[in-house]
Amino acid sequence: MESIQAIKQRFGILGNDQKLNRAVEKAMQVAPTDISVLVTGESGVGKESIPKIIHALSHRKHGKYIAVNCGAIPEGTIDSELFGHEKGAFTGASQTRSGYFEVADGGTIFLDEVGELPLTTQVRLLRVLENGEFIKVGSSKVQKTNVRIVAATNLNMSEAIQKEKFREDLYYRLSTVEIYLPPLRERKDDIHLLFRKFASDFALKYKMPTIRLDDDAISLLQKYRWNGNVRQLRNLAEQISVLEQERSIDAAKLKEYLPGYGSNLPAIIEEKKKESDFSNEREILYKVLFDMKNDLNDLKKLTLELMENESHTNVKEENESLIKKIYGNNDEEDVIPEEITDEQLEVLQIPQQNQPDKQDKYYFAEEIEEEETLSLQDKELELIKKSLERHNGKRKAAAEELGISERTLYRKIKQYDL
């Protein structure tokens, strides 16, 4: 029997990490059997190497080996691809077609990204695993097949089962033996070794000197998270080999090729984020409503003081930030009439009998409390009316009293159709 190192060399697997060696060892041990195997690990760790090892060391090595990317086949055609179809089974089925399970009879099928299979296809696959039977699309004839299934996924299968996206019984049939490949960040000692191998390969391919890293760059390489794992590291080595004229790379130059290095933190799990979305939105809504209530109370106080005092200079200065918050601070020049027309002023007049007595300083405040549901827009409109009335329709004087620009006041008048 070949050694682990010999197998790794034969299939181009680099690294001496203990977890990696254990994964290769398990593949070698299960290869002579017909046990179904599930290979797990993050995207880019090299899961496709394990089924090749299993097939090459099994008694099926002279049979067909077919690799199927389940995530790349449209849901409407996946059953036809795997199990075949009869002529006329669906639109475009002009002739009978054999599926992968029929073609690979006596060999091995590698189902990559098996977690992406539709639930209906999962039922068909379960039948193949249980008794080696399948039915072509559009047929009623049961056919037999003798295939070895090795599957791979980068999904968390426990979560997929809980969300009813993957059948629990199928999971247990596929994972008779589970082989886990560690991510690159857990193989820190292998990272520089892999980079050197890739750099050497690309130097040969592009006929140029090999890229070399200094000590700081090597340290940076080992500290990086590598979400894309070996695939990402290979792409990095190719980019640097092609783009850099200087063949010695320091840490500063390497950082330019490491995306998001400054915020190299573990990714937030999307599902947890979704679960907290509602509570976060509710907290924001409560805060907005609370701020609006405070603004309304401040506006009540300001309006009361404007009604009580003849001189409003102090009121304006003390409430400048509130006035700006409500009315804005647009000081742009514009050609606007100096005074409101008599017709507009007449519309603004409040009937005398409806006006509160200015001597009764608590009257207006009492009215405000009774109209607690009055909107902020109504308050603004009422304040503008009273200020224009007080200054006989003179826009400039009213704008100064309110602490806003003439242009903003005129825009408000047009907005409220006064």
Encoding tokens for residue 66? 């077919």
Q: Which domains does the chain have, with CATH numbers?
A: 4-182 (3.40.50.300), 185-263 (1.10.8.60), 299-415 (no CATH)
C-alpha to C-alpha distance for 299 and 399, rounded to whole angstroms: 17
DSSP state string for 93-111 = --S-EE-HHHHTTTSEEEE
Band (pLDDT 50/70/90 cuts) for residue 262 is: very low
Q: What is the predicted pLDDT for the residue at 267?
A: 43
pLDDT in tens, 61-111: 999 999 999 999 998 899 999 999 999 888 888 899 999 999 999 999 999
- Rounded average pLDDT over 184-190: 94
- Rounded average pLDDT over 282-290: 69
Band (pLDDT 50/70/90 cuts) for residue 43 is: very high
Q: What is the predicted pLDDT for the residue at 314?
A: 59
- Rounded average pLDDT over 341-362: 48
In angstroms, the first-to-last Cα distance of the chain is 95
Q: What is the predicted pLDDT for the residue at 362?
A: 43
* CB of 180 closer than 8 Å to CB of 40: yes
Q: What is the predicted pLDDT for the residue at 281?
A: 65
Q: What is the predicted pLDDT for the residue at 136?
A: 93
Q: What residues have CB less than 8 Å from 330, skipping those under 6 apart? A: 405, 407, 408, 411
Band (pLDDT 50/70/90 cuts) for residue 278 is: low
- The answer to whether residue 130 scores a pLDDT higher than 50 is yes
- Rounded average pLDDT over 356-382: 54
Pairing of strands 148-153, 142-144: unpaired
Q: What is the predicted pLDDT for the residue at 366?
A: 43
Band (pLDDT 50/70/90 cuts) for residue 403 is: confident
More confident residue, 183 or 270: 183
* CB of 297 closer than 8 Å to CB of 370: no
More confident residue, 155 or 366: 155
- The answer to whether residue 2 scores a pLDDT higher than 60 is yes
- The answer to whether residue 413 scores a pLDDT higher than 90 is no
Q: What is the predicted pLDDT for the residue at 268?
A: 43
Q: Which residue has the tokens 């408000």?
A: 412
Q: What is the predicted pLDDT for the residue at 359?
A: 47
- Rounded average pLDDT over 114-133: 94
Backbone φ and ψ for 357, nearest 5 degrees, come out as: -75, 120
Backbone φ and ψ for 84, nearest 5 degrees, come out as: 85, 175
* CB of 36 closer than 8 Å to CB of 176: yes
Encoding tokens for residue 323? 């006035």
In terms of Cβ atoms closer than 10 Å to its own Cβ (0-12, 13-18, 19+), residue 102 is: middle
Encoding tokens for residue 215? 């000590």
Give pTM, 2 decimals. Answer: 0.62
C-alpha to C-alpha distance for 43 and 112, rounded to whole angstroms: 11
Q: What is the predicted pLDDT for the residue at 358?
A: 45
Q: Which of 183, 167, 136 shows the shortest CA–CA distance to 41? A: 183
